[in-house]
Structure 1
Amino acid sequence: MMPVSSLSKAVRVALLATTSTALLASTSLYAAEEEQVIERIEVTGSKIKRIGSLSATPVTVITGAEMMNMGITNVADILNKLPSSTVGISPETSNNTIFANGLNQTSLRGLGSDRTLVLVNGRRFVAGSNGSSAVDLNTIPTAMVSRIEVITGGASAVYGSDAIAGVINIITRTDVEGVELDVSYTQPEQSGGEESQFSLTTGGSFLDDKLSTVFNFTYAEQAELRNTDRDFLNNPVNSIYNPEWDSSLEDGTPARIPYIGRKPLSWISEPGTFFANDGGQYTFDSNGAMKVFDYGEGLIEGPGNNGNYCGPGCEGYDPVDYGFVRTPLERMVFTLNTDYEIAEDHTLFTEITYVDYQSNGESTPVFHTRNYIEADNAFLPEETRQLMSNTGMDYFNLYRIDTEFGNRTYNQDRETLRFLVGLEGAITDEWEYSFHAQRGELNETSVWGGEIWADRYDQAKDAVFADDGSIVCRDADAQAAGCVPLNLLGKNQASQEAIDWVSTSAGQTAKTTQTTAGLVVNGALFDVPAGYISAAFSADYRKEESETKPDQALVDGTIFGNNAMPMKGEYDVMEFAAEFSIPLLSDMFLAHDLGLDLAYRWMDYSTAGSDDAWKVGLNWSPIEDLRFRATKSKSVRAPNIGELFDPGGQTFESFKDVCDAINVELGPDGNRKQNCQAAGLPQGWNPTDGWYQSNTPGVNAGNPDLKPETSNDYTIGLVYTPDYLDGFSLTVDYWAFEISDAINNIDVDVAVRYCYDSVSLDNVYCDLFTRDASTGDIVDFLQAPVNSASFDVKGVDIETQYLIPTDSFGDFNIHLIATYLEQWETNPTGFAEDLQVDVGEYTDPRWKAMFSLGWKYDALSLEARSNYRHSTVADNEWKPENNNYNDIPSHTVWDFTGSYDFTQTLSVRFGVKNAFDIAPPRNPYVYDGAGYYDTQGRAFFLGANYKL
């Protein structure tokens, strides 16, 4: 028999072969690893429980306790700090995305939230927004997190669709005894963006230890953050055309240069502004009297659209004053998990989650750029009426931000209920089973405030004098309907009655339902000289349903700037999978152990048909201290309900027809000319008169003919845990993704171009528009997702950790995790000229890293942690003539945190985040964070945990 110390080390090495060292590992975690001497281990990336040579798939582990010690109150915030991940939809990026407002999602490898599968205890969770498959991490309470396991590689063979970029498996706590209270508060140095959280967790064992429960209630609140709340946002960095630029010269002079400070629009304002025939621009003062528009420091000089902006002191509209950088978020989460031993080795378990949270987006008030005021308007000041008469004006166009109706708001209420019941246990000494059934439901209510009835606005602003001298709406039918005249000439001139007549709100309800059932049987098949061949067999059923019900006003398009159509869609899928872990060699020269992992999954979708996924992994340890691992897999992602069934709404577009007499000659290799003629358009054809001067009606919608995306990926790496340097580990993994048939939304101009530039007319683009049979004009089009895109992404993950215990000075922990991005190429259309090389741009830096240095002495723990983004460029295709701000410097943010255990029941944590108050780079592309940089600034946090 292997000595206990050797077996303990073998398990630790095996764990490292499967999982990168815990992201925030502490001494207690190492102790936990050492104690797992004979326990069969189940890790993310495999459904096989085993000892020794574990899966070849790399996994990063984050502990829940250390996450909270960092002052983090949302699971998404820690995931988005990982070098292998980028921000998906978040409160920082979703303010103007109406139906996604407030969501918290992550995107592994930056490949998209819908390509990142989030599991809870190894099982699926209901989607966080209607039509999507991505989970909203707002539904996961941090106090319930035991650990988070992150696979950054294709895992469809084990878990099915959506796992192209990887899997995030959130493991909840089962070790709660008694009552645990936890509070935390984060206060930024500048006001705005405050965060608070309270949680109550209780649990225990009952009925002679047959029943165990864990209950948690969490309330968390995140305050809004506005541009005006931060110095670097209140003083933005934009760009303008270079006043010294001459478009006729290529002398290296940049066309655009930075402009630091506010630059209001010079042609639109809150009181309203108009241009008269005398060449002047006018507005209205607080009393409604006309006056000359004040440009402050003057119009910005230079070519292009510089003259659309003016300097500080200008009376124009300034977008800095409106909207959120981060939307406010308020959430309540209730979780109850139970285990009941119904018989020896057989346990009935349940998971119940209820979440209710609100988020509020905000943008400018409604605005009008085609807003005609007639010369007989009753609200015109006499001087304006005289000006119009003197200059021969029958009307003017009033460019206006309508502050009377307040900022437009997007209030979201999301209610999630998930119930899961399952049974697990032992079949024999070697075989186990686990069965579960689940029902999850998301109900969303969206209410848009600050809206107006578009027709009432037009009726109310057209005010005239009645015969009795009173002011009325011109339209008699509008008068009969109750129209109240609306004075738009100056701020705060409209009556409350008029505002009430025009104002409205609109809303939409949406429901998403997920029904799943799954069975897993795993165990040892038989013994071979190198050990046991282990296997897992699984069967899964899943049904996804989504439905939206917008207000009739949204369907009719009678609300300012908004249109929505009802949607209803569903699909189901049946899946069967098998995994095998095969030990090949053991305890031989240059083969301490050698194992092979195999996985295969077959899927049958009611929408996309049948498909499969597979994985092959090799795990080789030539000596006990060194392990090599490699995997190759095929993963798939089936289209989600929104991509398939979105009914969309009407839109109007102006675009180029590549078959006209001029453009048909410019196509590649003669394809365009041949295809246009094959479509019945003769040489020299042109659209009818006026086609280019009008917008063509079309529809934005889903595509029921979509097929699954496919990813071929591989990983090659090593794990080094030298015996002579106890506490040290190094992992290095090279990874690559090649995704084909990726789903991408295609605009009509792209569809028309590639319909005729393809080898033949038999392609996905030609089906997206319709020509008139007699004239040849394009009279209708569909802007929809198609399977046209591809990704080619490669990089290296590096992680090293060194735990240094001392007898007199405590324990030190040094940890580094980094990702080097070798290649990031994407092609949205499949045509060579559209290849985009993004690596090294600010969205995809070459290097990202996290570094931490921790020290623990008795009850005190201190840690310094940094997040690093390498220097980048805004555009790889940059030329000196483009601008002089392409380079974006590297960026490092430091956090200093600590905790102190006053007693066994009371601990306090504290710290300062972004300790050096590092703002995003002062560059027009990223000065506002752009979702990649911290916008909170220096912030202090304090938290406490008390166990009763």
Structure 2
Amino acid sequence: MSGVVFANEIDNGEKKSDFDEIEKIEITGSRLRSTDLQGFSPVQVIDSKDIDMSSVANIQELLLKNPAFGTPGISRTNSNFSTSSAGVATVDLRDLGSSRTLVLVNGRRFVSGVPGSSAVDLNSIPTQFIERVEIMTGGASAVYGSDAVAGVVNIIYKKEFEGLEFDLQTGQSQEGDSEETQIQFTMGTSSSDGKGNIMIHGAYTDQGAVYSRDRERSAVDQASQGAYFTGAAEDMFTAVRPFYSSYAPQGRFYAGDKQYTYNKAGELQEGWSTNGSDTMEANGFNRMDYRTIAIPTERYLLAMSGKYEFTEGWNAFMEGTYAATQTTTRLEPFPMASDAVYSASGGQMPLEYEQYIVSATNPGEYERTLVRNAFVPDAIFDSATDTDGDGIKDIFFTRRLSDIAARGNTADRDTFRIVAGIDGEITEGWYTDVYYGYGQTKESQVGSGQFNSLNFRSALEAVEDEDGNIVCRNADAVAEGCAPVNVFGEGSISPEGADYVNAPNMLTTFTSQTIAGVNVTGDLFEVPAGTVGLALGTEYREEYSRSEFDALQSSGLNGGNAIPRTEGEFDVIEYFAEVNVPLLDDVFMAKQLNVRGAYRYSDYSSVGKTDSWNVALDWAPIDEVRFRAIRAQSTRAPNINELYSPPSQTFPTGLTDPCLGVTATTTGAQAEACRADAGVMANINANGEFTLSQSDLQGISGYNRGNSELDAEKGKSWTFGVTFSPEGMSVIEDFDFTVDYYDIEVEDAIVSTPRQFILDDCYGGSGATCNFITRRAKDTGPNSAGSLEYIDSADTNSGGFVNEGVDLVVTYAKDIEDYDLVGQVNARLAYTHVIDAYTIPLPGSEKDQDKGEIGAAENKFYLSLGYTYDDLTIAWNTTFIGESYLDDQFLSGSDLAAESIGVGSVTYHDLNIAYRPWDMAEFYIGANNLFDREPPKIITGLPGSDTGTETDAGTYDAVGRRYYAGVRLKF
């Protein structure tokens, strides 16, 4: 990943003098065609050789090794629990979010793969069809439009390829899972007159699953002792193991003042011990038997590009991409509680049902009788009481629905994109291109393991009929096919009952993008230092998105999140101009001095008018040294989800209740705010201090909302850089050095206020966020009273982000025959040091420090070493992630200082060996994570822990050592 892109390097791969006269081209960061723009923008490049030597199936895997990228919002290893878009692959520059990283293909926008957002799914990009990827960091909205606040990732396809190339690869992890197959071909041909060329690329990739149970660190449910119990620093990374779920397949029944369950022999017993005790075996459930670390992903890809010179100097061009992707998630069966069915009656299931019969003594009257549930055991029935005063015995129960199905979903996504246009030379030195593009992504998702709560209620109310058969009590339900359900004991639900209550959930999404544009660039006039260049253009874009679950899911009647339909659209027309003015040329202390400026005006149907701009200075005092300075303002308009999402339910994790441990005499504003809640006070009165049960700790919900009144956010950035190419200096002449300082500040940022911030602000802070919090009522039991039920959050222009740091890139290439050795060596180092990074959740609030936290390490680097001798090439790549700390918001309210608790640095090594015995064949083998470096154990309950992985699987390698081998054939 080189540091500076030289126009001549991109053109033919050979380094020349910086100022050689060569063909003008356009590179990422500017619309101008020139040979002299390499100093303006910090651009790093991944080329096709890097891709070949990494043997990745998805370009995301290689991009994330670059230290400029943060933890992705979505990847194959951190999205198993997502209700939608699981397995999608996105990128995130500077840890500012995928929505602030603009992904382009051949310099133009690509349709989103995540409904309602701008995030491109890199599953839809054909990896081996890529010629290079140009990564520009810093604001670029003036050049490319909205979303380029953190930077641009420009993926450039191969051009004018001729011949036929095959690539076949297979591999798996050391544990025998994560099997991977890649089959790819590229073919191209040119017309006999050389005016036309067409290329076609096809690929099939299949990446297998990795299950939680197959890794020792995640094979058993566990929890952080410090997070859940003691709060002590030394206990944060100590696991309470097992820490099973209290929702078990055999059921847990609260009858009067007693609890019942079934032992492993299927016998009813009094008492309960989730994780086991000296007197009772564990009754809980190990969820890790079902969970997934890496989602299986299967892809079919087809790409094509072509051009034809229909008249001298004018070309018609077209490019197209089609991707069909299937992903499958898998997680434990549904944890059901009776309040999911009987929410209107306080969550209590009745054990008796009213029946009226004609009086034997007075035929004109009816007598009220009670009919007992046909399945309830005598011991539970006898212990049950009337909890709501209606004269009917009832109980509360929880049960893991293993009899029905494991949860999960299979999603089929189809992405199609086509762009066509013409380009050519209008007159000498002036060029234009006109294009039109359309893209769409469709998703069809079918999920399992949910239930129809209305049907479940009918099935639970089972009675004996006159013939002694057990039937559903409700005659209308029987007519509709109701089959009774027995929840007492593991495996007690009949297949017929399971079929009746089972409710497969479905999701359909549609996302479309229409783009059109006209660009003109050329030379305005000559000045003493050179030619003034100008680029002008206009672009139109229309975005539409629709996301809709089935009726039960939309209304929350299947036991899962209530996720209503989201639909919206917007369009924008934009005008931009860019100019480059050479000030000095080939004078003392100024081999070159240029200034460049760009401006973009945008008119959105959603947020109205916005503008973006940048000003850049490029100074080369001598041939070997160049300095650059860039000041930019970028904008990002809210996406469809941020504008139009209705309340959507979620189940957040990694939260600390500020009231935990508060007593009647605890002093301080935080304790006083806690005791003001009647439920919290009832809990304190019952337990001596505010106490939470395991199910309450694991049962927090909430709703996320969009906001149609949002405005565009603004990002302002500074970049200062220097490049040093020491030609003629014998010791270091084969090196190139690039250093860039960057400072990005996002104002009026669109944020969903973090839930831990909401809690901390409500209790002991300003109190402005208390209306987002709902606690359970005081009459819900001695432990559940006052526990957190809902913490809501909404999108507002109330946030701010800052990310400041330094990038260092060093490249080296040498033919070592000069040292009486053989072969060639090359090396590249990309290093990022974060000076400062923080979020401002609300105006006037304290900084939420991000620098150095897990997922945002202060220091990262990627080192690539290569050696080539004749037909043998060896590549050794090293990825370093510096020591990182727990989120400071997680530690707030405690006596623990920020950056006091964290994980050590992690280094990964990858090896690839390729041998080409003939011109038409290359064989290669390799290993990723060669030394099988385990990821840091970030235990359940700690921020950054991805469910099912026991680590931050978006940042660290959660799979382990992987081997692969393959062959490339060229004809």
TM-score band by shorter chain is: 0.7 to 0.9
CA contact (8 A) 1:20 1:731 kept: no
Distance 1:296 1:513 in 2: 49
**Which string of whole-angstrom CA distances, capped at 9 and with x for unpartnered residues, describes residues 304-344 of structure 1?**
xxxxxx99x72311222222112111111111111011101
Aligned residue in 2 for 1:918? 933
* Counterpart for residue 634 of structure 2: 635
**Closer, same or farther: CA 143–459 of 1 in aligned 2, 3 Å:** same
Partner SS for 2:415:
strand
| Aligned residue in 1 for 2:322 | 354
Deviation (angstroms), 1:356? 1.1
1:905 aligns with 2:920: yes
For 1:799-854, what per-residue CA distance to the aligned partner results, in whole angstroms no more than 9, with x for missing partners? Answer: 11221212242011122110000001111111233x21121222221100011221
Pair 1:868 & 2:880 matched = yes
1:29 to partner: Cα distance: 3.8
Match of 1:378 among 358, 374, 379: 374
Query: Shift of the alpha carbon at 1:448?
Result: 1.8
Give the match's secondary structure for 1:232: helix
Amino acid at match of 2:351: E
Instruction: Return the match for 2:215 from 230, 234, 237.
Output: 230
Is the Cα–Cα contact under 8 Å of residues 276 and 282 in structure 1 kept in the other structure?
no
1:49 to 33, 38, 57: 33
Does the CA-based 8 Å contact 1:900-1:907 persist in structure 2?
yes
Q: Give 3-state SS (helix, strand or coil) of 1:404's partner.
A: coil
Q: Output the amino acid matched with 1:798.
A: L
Name the residue aligned to 2:662.
none
In the TM superposition, residue 781 of structure 1 has moved relative to its aligned partner by: 12
Q: Aligned to 1:134, what secondary structure does the other structure show?
A: coil
* 2:964 partner amino acid: F
Deviations 1:367-409 (A, max 9, x none): 22336372733223456556669x9994433321110111111
Matches within 5 A, 1:665-680: none
Offset at 1:125? 0.7
Residue 238 (structure 1) shift:
3.3
Equivalent residue, structure 1, for 2:503: 504
| Paired residue type of 2:800 | S
- 2:3 touches 2:809 (CA, 8 Å); kept in 1? no
In the TM superposition, 1:519-530 aligns within 5 A as 519-530=518-529
Letter in 2 for 1:738: E
Query: Are 2:757 and 2:841, in contact at CA under 8 Å, matched by a contact in 1?
Result: no
- Residues 884 and 118 of structure 1: is their aligned pair in 2 closer, same or farther, counting only changes over 3 Å? closer
User: In the aligned structure 2, how far is the partner of 1:652 from the partner of 1:167?
Assistant: 33
Question: Where does residue 188 of structure 1 map in the other structure?
Answer: 173
CA distance in structure 2 between the aligned counterparts of 1:259 and 1:749, rounded to whole angstroms: 22
Cα offset, 1:540, TM superposition: 0.5
Work out whether 1:141 is the aligned partner of 2:126.
yes
Contact kept? 2:197, 2:306, Cα under 8 Å: yes
Deviation at 1:782?
A: 8.7
Which residue matches 1:938?
961
Is 1:831 the counterpart of 2:844? The answer is yes
TM-score by length of 2: 0.83
Greater CA deviation, 264-273 or 505-514? 264-273
Pair 1:819 & 2:832 matched: yes
Hey, what's the Cα distance between the residues in 1 that align with 2:887 and 2:631? 32
Instruction: Look up the equivalent residue of 1:447 and give its one-letter code.
Output: V
Match of 1:709 in 2: 713
Instruction: Output aligned runs, 1:636-651, within 5 Å.
Output: 636-648=635-647
Alignment of 1:103-142 (within 5 A): 103-142=88-127
Question: Aligned partners of 2:405 and 2:590: how far apart in 1?
Answer: 72
Distance 1:265 1:651, change over 3 A: closer
Letter in 1 for 2:912: T
**In 2, Cα distance between the equivalents of 1:715 and 1:220?**
39
2:40 matched to 1:40?
A: no
Q: Distance in 1 between matches of 2:425 and 2:970?
A: 35
Contact 2:249 2:285 in 1 (8 A): yes
The aligned counterpart of 1:800 is: 810
3-state SS, counterpart of residue 67 of structure 1: helix
Letter in 2 for 1:823: D
- Provide TM-score, normalisation by structure 1: 0.85
Q: Which of the numbers 262, 267, 270 marks the counterpart of 2:249?
A: 270
Match of 2:224 in 1: 239
Cα distance in 2 for residues equivalent to 1:691 and 1:294: 27
Tell me the secondary structure at the aligned position of residue 708 of structure 2. coil
Distance 1:218 1:570, change over 3 A: same
Change (3 A) 1:112 1:478: same
What secondary structure sits across from 2:92 in the alignment? strand
- 1:19 and 1:61 in contact (8 A); partners too: no
- Superposed displacement of residue 768, structure 1: 9.9
Give the equivalent residue in structure 2 for 1:774.
none
Q: Deviations over 1:678-715 (max 9, x none)?
A: xxxxxxxx99999999x999975321111111011011
Aligned residues: 875
Quote the residue 1:896 is aligned against: 911
Residue 420 of structure 2 aligns with an amino acid whose one-letter code is V
- The C-alpha deviation readout for 1:511-555, integer Å capped at 9, x for no partner, is 111111111111111111111111111110111111234323334
Q: Does 1:428 align with 2:427?
A: yes
Partners of 2:807 and 2:403 in 1: how far apart? 54
For the residue of structure 1 that corresponds to 2:499, the secondary structure is: helix
Deviates more, 1:342-351 or 1:196-205: 196-205
Determine helix, strand or coil for the equivalent of 1:162: coil
Aligned to 2:688: none
Q: Superposition RMSD on alpha carbons, in Å? A: 4.0
**Farther off after superposition, 119-128 or 413-422:** 413-422
- Partner residue of 2:366? none
Give the whole-Å Cα distance in 2 for the aligned partners of 1:936 and 1:697. 30
SS of match in other structure, 1:68:
helix
Alignment of 1:522-921 (within 5 A): 522-648=521-647, 700-723=704-727, 724=729, 725-746=732-753, 783-807=793-817, 808-833=821-846, 835-876=847-888, 886-921=901-936
Please tell me the residue identity of whatever aligns with 1:802. Answer: Y
Structure 1, 585-594 or 277-286: larger mean CA deviation? 277-286
Distance in structure 1 (CA, Å) of the matches to 2:569 and 2:924: 46
Structure 1 Cα separation of the partners of residues 721 and 270 of structure 2: 70
Task: Name the CA shift for 1:538/1:623 in 2 (closer, same or farther; >3 Å).
Answer: same
For residues 898 and 464 of structure 2, the distance between their equivalents in structure 1, rounded to whole angstroms, comes to 54
Q: Distance in 2 between matches of 1:244 and 1:133?
A: 41
CA distance in 2, matches of 1:667, 1:19: 60
* Counterpart position of 1:676: none
For 2:216 and 2:17, the matched residues in 1 are separated by: 47
Amino acid corresponding to residue 790 of structure 1 in structure 2: G
Contact 1:55 1:617 in 2 (8 A): no
- Corresponding residue for residue 92 of structure 1: 77
Q: Is the 1:285–1:490 Cα contact (8 Å) retained in structure 2?
A: no
In structure 2, distance between residues paired with 1:702 and 1:891: 38
Which deviates further from its counterpart, 32-41 or 462-471? 32-41
Q: Quote the residue 2:661 is aligned against.
A: none
2:267 to 289, 296, 320: 289
- 1:620-670: CA deviation from partner (whole Å, max 9, x where unpaired): 1111111111111000000111111223358999x99xxxxxxxxx999xx
CA change 1:142–1:254 in 2 (3 A) is closer
State the Cα distance separating 1:203 from its structure 2 match: 0.7
Distance 1:756 1:296, change over 3 A: closer
Q: Aligned letter for 1:430?
A: G
Supply the distance in 1 between the matched residues of 2:436 and 2:258 (Cα, whole angstroms).
72
Task: Tell me which amino acid in the other structure corresponds to 2:924.
Answer: R
Contact 1:21–1:60 under 8 Å retained in 2: no
Percent identical pairs in the alignment equals 33
Give the whole-Å Cα distance in 1 for the aligned partners of 2:303 and 2:552. 38
Distance 1:198 1:380 in 2: 57
Residue aligning to 2:276: 298
Between the aligned partners of 1:110 and 1:315, the Cα distance in structure 2 is 42
